Structure 1
Amino acid sequence: MNRKTYTFDEAFEASLTYFGGDELAAKVWVNKYALKDAFGNIYEKSPVDMHYRLASEIARIEKKHPNPLSEKDLFELFDRFRYIVPQGSPMTGIGNDFQIASLSNCFVIGLDGQADSYGAIIRIDEEQVQLMKRRGGVGHDLSHIRPKGSPVKNSALTSTGLVPFMERYSNSTREVAQDGRRGALMLSVSIKHPDSESFIDAKMVEGKVTGANVSVKIDDEFMQAVINGTEYQQQYPVSSDNPTFKKNINASELWEKIIHNAWKSAEPGVLFWDTIIKESVPDCYADLGFRTVSTNPCGEIPLCPYDSCRLLAINLYSYVQNPFTPQATFDFELFKEHVELAQRIMDDIIDLESEKIEKILEKIDADPESNEVRQSERHLWEKIQTKTLQGRRTGVGITAEGDMLAALNFRYGTEEATDFSEKIQRELALAAYRSSVKMAKERGAFEIFDAKREENNPFINRLREADPQLYKDMVKYGRRNIACLTIAPTGTTSLMTQTTSGIEPVFLPVYKRRRKVNPNDADARVDFVDETGDAFEEYIVYHHKFMTWMQANGYDLTKHYTQEEVDELVEKSPYYKATSNDVDWLQKVRMQGRIQKWVDHSISVTINLPADVSEELVNTLYIEAWKCGCKGCTVYRDGSRSGVLISTGNEKKKKDDCNCMEPPVIVSKRPKDLDADVVKFQNNREKWIAFVGLVNGRPYEIFTGLADDEEGIMLPKNVSKGKIIKSYDENGNKHYDFQFTNKRGYKMTIEGLDGKFDPEYWNYAKLISGVLRYGMPIDQVIKLVQGMELDSESINTWKNGVERALKKYLPNGTELKGQKCPNCEMETLTYQEGCLICTNCGASKCG
């Protein structure tokens, strides 16, 4: 069958219209979610086509059950990301016959019984890779591995402990990930394990465990010892009544290390394991294979071995009627109706997942390898299919909570807003479980349902107290799904829901020094945000909603507003003082604890903190998270991912260095000032110069051109650093200036960099800067630049200059794959300080 294909430009233009002119949302959709084959052929023109694909496939499953939802009903739920939003893997994989991949976002793996032999460790490594190649993230626990120094019955005589195996699993992730396109890894360990301190420190060493997130499973006994200042016993095996190894430690000292490392590097995360197990509904069936052992990489789904999560989010903003007005209300009836349908859709996706697994098994059987090679992969997917169908676990969550609260005139982080958020989650939990009970009546309960096993579970008892009839029906009919709920990070899908939530994308014609902004010009949107002053810079992602708030409150969108008037409007907006740095962090933790009571899995929330917060604050947040019932906690202090690693050589990394292969924190709103490096070089006897703006030590923008043209960008030879400053002239036109400090300590400014470079160079620089700004790995940006086919010799010289400047930021040791050393012809080239070095023969090439 010949299917119609579209060029990237065709799909991008159609999606740009769909998203109301939002270029980032359009690019994300085309690159990540549009149906395409292995050759890059695109088969969907816009999200409309994708939503019809999803609706068609789910309707096919619905027809197998009583009272089926129609394709039209389903499309209306999905259309414009308005109500129900399947996440990542389901959105990509449902109805996709071009890929043989799972619909599950993440998995947990682990072997039964004693599993610390090399054979077991290697088996887990293989299973991890097999899952990651199908696009899945993986979590597994290391608490079963013997501590360092333990006797072993092989030639080594003693065990190496946890850390070498952390590196092994991390390296496997980096290998299969192919520059970040696939796979993510969570490694966990019990605080009771004697090597837990080494586990906690492992990621603080340069080049170690860079392919994994790490979390510590902390029990109540340890936390109580921290608070009381008493000792705590570590042992191996960690859960044994007769451990072979025991030692007492100072709990406070180990806790201080956890806090310091979290403050310094944003890891480890903490998992409050006793809370997780006590609240876990699936652990009522622990002896039947549903014992929770670890979490997925983002931490929102604690899982038993070989179970997985499929995610779906409900767009809360869409249930606000008369948003931003005094008459704003939340449509609870429609919300509950849609939650029930969402749970039903998630159950349908389980059947679609089972079909996908069958195709994976068929693919394995058709592979040319021997049965010996294929058997382990086949057995892995057979275990996953069994667990998937036995428990029918789902992950219904939410998105746009902040926008919902603002539209209802609540300020995020206040007690009033928290009360309402808890009410929303309570109603969601009741509606989802009600739907699961109804499906049990129509379709049958999950295979091992037993109400007697669940009668003392705290979460089930909360449902019983809130809705006694629901509980009676559950006992009578059972439940279709062993667990239903989560709150996961919505990632790139949130970019798409922001611009399509029934909000007309209008842009306020703000005037600063009487300069009119063209609302049809994409760049004008950035100008518009800039011109509203510092008070509004925090709210760039909400500009569509801010306009809606103005419109709803009777403000004239065609009026010429002064800067002072805009500042006053911002302070009246419900988004004012509601950013991550404005919200009371303790209040956010308590809010998470209150909402957690109505989520049967967990909540993935990172507390974002400014750079100058103390370790004491992180300590307070973690302890409060435990006290108020959170199942886990993670913090991120601004800039903490850079400059924290200890060198493996004699020299320590400088504080402003950055591991530019690590996923960056996206800073879509350009700060006014950026630290900058100056890179000077010579091409064909011409002197060139590059200015590289940095955020957290990582390239954020790059401008390159001739250093000795008529305009003259002449800098003293010793100048290698400075700042790139965004400024406006007397006519309101935007410019970029470069400021540096001379030998005498005076600040010198070169104004109008944008006017000193060839316009063609400048435009290409904007393109490359946009790619850098949204986090493409540096080595991939270099490949992108290398692959650009440009006509003129001068612009190719510019291209070489950009490539040379960016190579400086590749971490030492980065491999250049696919190219051989011209001297020894071995594929052993790595980057060192921007130069290519052959690790085999020592040949080098710079520039």
Structure 2
Amino acid sequence: MSETAAAGLSGVGDLPRQTRRTAQDPPVSGPGPRPGADRGMRVGRRHTTPGVHPYDETTWERRDVVLTGRDGVAYFVERGVEFPDFWSSHASDIVTSRYFRGDPGDPGDPGDPGAAGRERSLRDLVDRVVGAYTAAGRSAGYFAAEQDTLAFEHELTWMLLRQVFSFNSPVWFNVGTSAPQQVASCFILAVDDSLESIMDWYRAETLLFRGGAGVGVNVSRLRSSREPLSSGRPAAGPVSFMRGADATAGAIRTGSATRPAAKMVLLDVDHPDIVDFVACKAREEAKIRVLRDAGFDMGVGGRDLDSVQFQNANNSVRVSDAFMRAVTEDAPFALRTRRDGRTVETVRARELFRAIARAAWECADPGLHYADTIDGWHTCPASGPISASNSCSEYLHLDDSAATLASLNLLRFLRDDGGFDVEGFVAAVELVMLALDVSVSFGELPTPRITQVTRDHRQVGIGYANLGALLMAMGHAYDSPRGRAIAAAVTSLMTAVAYRRSAELAAALGPYEGFARNAAAHRRVVDRHAEASAAVRSVGPTDAAILAAAAGEWERARTLGERHGWRNAHVSLLAPTGTIGLVMDCDTMGIEPDLALVKTKHSATGSVMRIVNRTVPRALRALGYDDAAAGAIVAHVAEHGHVVGAPGLAPEHLAVFDCAMGERSIAPLGHVRMMAAVQPFLSGAISKTVNLPASATEADIEQIFLEGWRLGLKALAVYRDGCKVGQPLSAGTPA
């Protein structure tokens, strides 16, 4: 790495491509801070060898990437790009088209490190990102010695190369380029009841979308259309201002890529405009159907889709326990003014709840945020309330804050003997948490307020993908006691190690700035996590072993946290992992089961991708089928898209292959039960869709929303198959 790269944080955006380092640094043992050290972390080697670069242990190959739209015409072509031979073509297609930086065809100037030209290899991309992280960590004093710096660099490279984890997309878009070093993908904004604040909201969203982030905002502070302005005229109301924000989002493609902007808008259930908010997207979906039937192009990425509103945001209603109790009791509920809290109207809570369920049945929006449950797990109440989330409802923390995310590929921790690699998982969480905290040190943020709140609380979010595939590969059904026990155990272990690592970082570098005024609340939340872990009932040897490891980690996290505090106010969540899940060659995203064993993905560019589940053969081996029997079942799946009627498949094994849609779909409450199993072990929440068949009723959605509240979820969204004309993912069989 050049001296310029290592000189300081201010030069991170101008880093040259990383030079491979193979110095004979000695291995370092021990996961935590060096005994007696005031600063710096020790970093051990698990996957790499001193003197051998991870690239030198990889077989590389050249590939051509050609992407076509719905019309069959190629819209992206790049030939001769370099990837490891074990990466799928889907993964290399996505990385080449979305994450490689530079103008296609630009060879660069070999004599000028600042003019490197177009990235042509995964090595270029990983070097750019890992080089920036290593330089930032060194400059900020994260490493106890240079050998720890080099171990961090090599271990991080190995894990990214082997698809063990991935940073969120803004890291790949921005880090090490001339663009602002925006590393966070999740932002929560605040908007107050003034035109100046509304304009600041629009501007901040635009800047964040450009950098590849998702944004959430609660618009409940805005006066309703039933309240007067100082002039005496009625206010426009939040739904009107949502139109302007939606149009701006529709004009942005994030990270200079083809991915559309992602945003969340919330409204409190007692806002006088709640009925209009609930119905606004359902009305637009009705327009979409009329326009489609009239011959307009209204599908995913359709050229006429921008003629309707509210298509660039997820909407959610923030409901209180008082409202939910009023629903169950069929009691009245007051809608109140924003300025003085006067009652504008009293409605029947159950009727309003049914209107929410009806709109969700029609168009999948709105979802729900359970406000009192969220508040009960808030680590920093002295710093402010939680009023909103990011665009996908997994990051829930302070207004005007941000979180950088990374997700682990759970299938990489399934051993050949069918057991879960607890030690490897613990080591991975340790390294990723270290890297995420480095992100906070150098990541650029769009406003002084967001910068201050984020630097003072250092929110990060470690999570995972491929849970559905992990359970299938183990031979367990997603909707089963064993499936939920394994998921709970893995999630508990992940957050316990994250908190233990955060306490070690606090010992070496200091706790987050806001810890002192929130210490009691933060310790109470960590205690709740540990108590919830102790209450999980194990149902098999795998989850019992993971839970035992989690118990030890929670004890260490609490002991170290009592002594040193924690470095991060927020450590874990479960993101949707759509793009990065495909980059890691995951069969299932986030906490989701597979949508279908064979599915079709439509992108906003018009491309169509057929995705076939690759976990079925491994699951059949785990269940005891020989090669011939497994081959016949796999052939059946390839032909029909499901396992129903597969020759030789035992009836008791059918549930292992249940998916979110299609034949033998998982019951909607099975999704809710899985979310409830893991929610107590997350700082944030879960980005997940409860999938329902097209035949589901409004009453079914009401039941799901009620059960989500009763089971302690923080947020919940539903999707009824076929409820939207532009459905990105669908069950599909070979053409």
Give the TM-score of the pair, scaled to structure 2.
0.72
User: Is the 2:204–2:447 Cα contact (8 Å) retained in structure 1?
Assistant: no
Counterpart of 2:451 in structure 1 is 385
- The whole-number CA distance in structure 1 between the counterparts of 2:84 and 2:433 is 31
Counterpart of 1:666 in structure 2 is 729
| Superposed displacement of residue 603, structure 1 | 0.6
2:420 aligned residue (312, 317, 330)? 330
Deviates more, 1:46-55 or 1:623-632: 46-55
Superposed CA deviations along residues 16-66 of structure 1, whole A, max 9, x for unmatched, are 76355x433222111111233499877333334323333222222333323
| Superposed displacement of residue 483, structure 1 | 0.8
Partner amino acid, structure 2, of 1:282: C
User: Is the 2:574–2:687 Cα contact (8 Å) retained in structure 1?
Assistant: yes
1:474 equivalent in alignment to 2:561: yes
User: Is the 1:570–1:576 Cα contact (8 Å) retained in structure 2?
Assistant: no
- The whole-number CA distance in structure 1 between the counterparts of 2:522 and 2:174 is 38
| Superposed displacement of residue 184, structure 1 | 2.0
- The whole-number CA distance in structure 2 between the counterparts of 1:559 and 1:472 is 49
1:163 equivalent in alignment to 2:239: yes
- The whole-number CA distance in structure 2 between the counterparts of 1:604 and 1:446 is 26
Counterpart of 2:349 in structure 1 is 251
- The whole-number CA distance in structure 2 between the counterparts of 1:433 and 1:457 is 11
| Superposed displacement of residue 124, structure 1 | 2.1
Counterpart of 1:710 in structure 2 is none
Counterpart of 2:213 in structure 1 is 136
User: Is the 2:459–2:569 Cα contact (8 Å) retained in structure 1?
Assistant: yes
CA distance change for structure 1 residues 564 and 315 in 2, over 3 Å: closer, same or farther? Answer: closer
User: Is the 2:473–2:618 Cα contact (8 Å) retained in structure 1?
Assistant: no
| Superposed displacement of residue 387, structure 1 | 2.0
User: Is the 2:468–2:478 Cα contact (8 Å) retained in structure 1?
Assistant: yes
Counterpart of 2:607 in structure 1 is none
Partner amino acid, structure 2, of 1:301: Y
Partner amino acid, structure 2, of 1:622: F
Counterpart of 1:630 in structure 2 is 713
Specify which structure has the bigger relative contact order, considering alpha-carbon pairs within 8 angstroms and separated by 6 or more residues: 2
Counterpart of 1:692 in structure 2 is none
CA distance change for structure 1 residues 443 and 38 in 2, over 3 Å: closer, same or farther? Answer: farther
Partner amino acid, structure 1, of 2:423: E
| Superposed displacement of residue 126, structure 1 | 2.4
| Superposed displacement of residue 332, structure 1 | 1.2
Q: Secondary structure at the match of 1:185?
A: strand
User: Is the 2:599–2:611 Cα contact (8 Å) retained in structure 1?
Assistant: no
| Superposed displacement of residue 94, structure 1 | 2.2
1:106 equivalent in alignment to 2:183: no
| Superposed displacement of residue 388, structure 1 | 2.3
CA distance change for structure 1 residues 321 and 176 in 2, over 3 Å: closer, same or farther? Answer: closer
User: Is the 2:570–2:684 Cα contact (8 Å) retained in structure 1?
Assistant: yes
Superposed CA deviations along residues 435-466 of structure 1, whole A, max 9, x for unmatched, are 00000001111112127643476532224545
CA distance change for structure 1 residues 182 and 666 in 2, over 3 Å: closer, same or farther? Answer: closer
Partner amino acid, structure 2, of 1:166: M
| Superposed displacement of residue 495, structure 1 | 1.7
Superposed CA deviations along residues 637-688 of structure 1, whole A, max 9, x for unmatched, are 111013xxxxxxxxxxxxxxxxxxx5x32237347xxxxxxxxxxxxxxxxx
Partner amino acid, structure 2, of 1:470: A
**Number of corresponding residues:** 577
Partner amino acid, structure 2, of 1:588: H
CA distance change for structure 1 residues 7 and 23 in 2, over 3 Å: closer, same or farther? Answer: closer
Where do residues 546-625 of structure 1 align in structure 2 (5 Å cutoff)?
A: 546-549=616-619, 555-556=626-627, 561=632, 567-568=646-647, 576-581=656-661, 582-625=665-708
User: Is the 1:422–1:594 Cα contact (8 Å) retained in structure 2?
Assistant: yes
- The whole-number CA distance in structure 1 between the counterparts of 2:283 and 2:409 is 41
User: Is the 1:577–1:583 Cα contact (8 Å) retained in structure 2?
Assistant: no
CA distance change for structure 1 residues 180 and 253 in 2, over 3 Å: closer, same or farther? Answer: farther
Partner amino acid, structure 1, of 2:647: E
Partner amino acid, structure 1, of 2:203: E
CA distance change for structure 1 residues 131 and 589 in 2, over 3 Å: closer, same or farther? Answer: same
Partner amino acid, structure 2, of 1:59: T
Where do residues 228-267 of structure 1 align in structure 2 (5 Å cutoff)?
A: 228-237=329-338, 242-267=340-365
| Superposed displacement of residue 180, structure 1 | 5.8
- The whole-number CA distance in structure 1 between the counterparts of 2:243 and 2:636 is 55
1:149 equivalent in alignment to 2:232: no
CA distance change for structure 1 residues 74 and 528 in 2, over 3 Å: closer, same or farther? Answer: closer
CA distance change for structure 1 residues 259 and 439 in 2, over 3 Å: closer, same or farther? Answer: same
Where do residues 806-821 of structure 1 align in structure 2 (5 Å cutoff)?
A: none
CA distance change for structure 1 residues 147 and 77 in 2, over 3 Å: closer, same or farther? Answer: same
Where do residues 652-691 of structure 1 align in structure 2 (5 Å cutoff)?
A: 664-667=727-730, 669-670=732-733
Partner amino acid, structure 2, of 1:298: C
Q: Point out where structure 2 has 5 or more consecutive residues left out of the alignment.
A: 1-14, 19-61, 67-76, 108-116, 285-307, 532-550, 589-595, 601-609, 638-642
Counterpart of 1:830 in structure 2 is none
- The whole-number CA distance in structure 2 between the counterparts of 1:491 and 1:94 is 20
- The whole-number CA distance in structure 1 between the counterparts of 2:333 and 2:476 is 44
Give the TM-score of the pair, scaled to structure 1.
0.63
User: Is the 2:334–2:346 Cα contact (8 Å) retained in structure 1?
Assistant: yes
- The whole-number CA distance in structure 1 between the counterparts of 2:349 and 2:264 is 24
Q: Point out where structure 1 has 5 or more consecutive residues left out of the alignment.
A: 358-379, 502-525, 531-539, 643-661, 672-725, 727-847
Deviates more, 1:594-603 or 1:382-391: 382-391
| Superposed displacement of residue 79, structure 1 | 1.6
User: Is the 2:318–2:371 Cα contact (8 Å) retained in structure 1?
Assistant: yes
Superposed CA deviations along residues 459-511 of structure 1, whole A, max 9, x for unmatched, are 3222454534432321211111111101000002222322799xxxxxxxxxx
Where do residues 384-783 of structure 1 align in structure 2 (5 Å cutoff)?
A: 384-450=450-516, 453-455=519-521, 459-463=525-529, 465=531, 467-498=554-585, 541=611, 543-549=613-619, 555-556=626-627, 561=632, 567-568=646-647, 576-581=656-661, 582-642=665-725, 664-667=727-730, 669-670=732-733
| Superposed displacement of residue 340, structure 1 | 1.6
Q: Secondary structure at the match of 1:187?
A: strand
Q: Which has the larger radius of gyration?
A: 1
- The whole-number CA distance in structure 2 between the counterparts of 1:437 and 1:527 is 41
Deviates more, 1:34-43 or 1:382-391: 34-43
User: Is the 1:451–1:478 Cα contact (8 Å) retained in structure 2?
Assistant: no
| Superposed displacement of residue 144, structure 1 | 0.9
User: Is the 1:280–1:601 Cα contact (8 Å) retained in structure 2?
Assistant: no
CA distance change for structure 1 residues 183 and 282 in 2, over 3 Å: closer, same or farther? Answer: farther
Where do residues 18-167 of structure 1 align in structure 2 (5 Å cutoff)?
A: 18-20=85-87, 22-37=88-103, 43-63=118-138, 64-67=141-144, 68-70=148-150, 71-81=153-163, 83-97=164-178, 99-100=179-180, 102-111=182-191, 115-154=192-231, 157-167=233-243
- The whole-number CA distance in structure 1 between the counterparts of 2:599 and 2:310 is 39
- The whole-number CA distance in structure 2 between the counterparts of 1:147 and 1:23 is 51
1:350 aligned residue (440, 443, 447)? 440
User: Is the 1:94–1:352 Cα contact (8 Å) retained in structure 2?
Assistant: no
User: Is the 1:313–1:397 Cα contact (8 Å) retained in structure 2?
Assistant: yes
CA distance change for structure 1 residues 181 and 495 in 2, over 3 Å: closer, same or farther? Answer: closer
- The whole-number CA distance in structure 1 between the counterparts of 2:235 and 2:217 is 20
Partner amino acid, structure 1, of 2:557: L
1:341 equivalent in alignment to 2:404: no
| Superposed displacement of residue 245, structure 1 | 4.3
Superposed CA deviations along residues 363-419 of structure 1, whole A, max 9, x for unmatched, are xxxxxxxxxxxxxxxxx5222222221111101000111111122221111111101
1:276 aligned residue (370, 374, 391)? 374
Superposed CA deviations along residues 96-137 of structure 1, whole A, max 9, x for unmatched, are 23x3351111322115xxx32323322322222233233322
State the identity as a percent.
Answer: 22
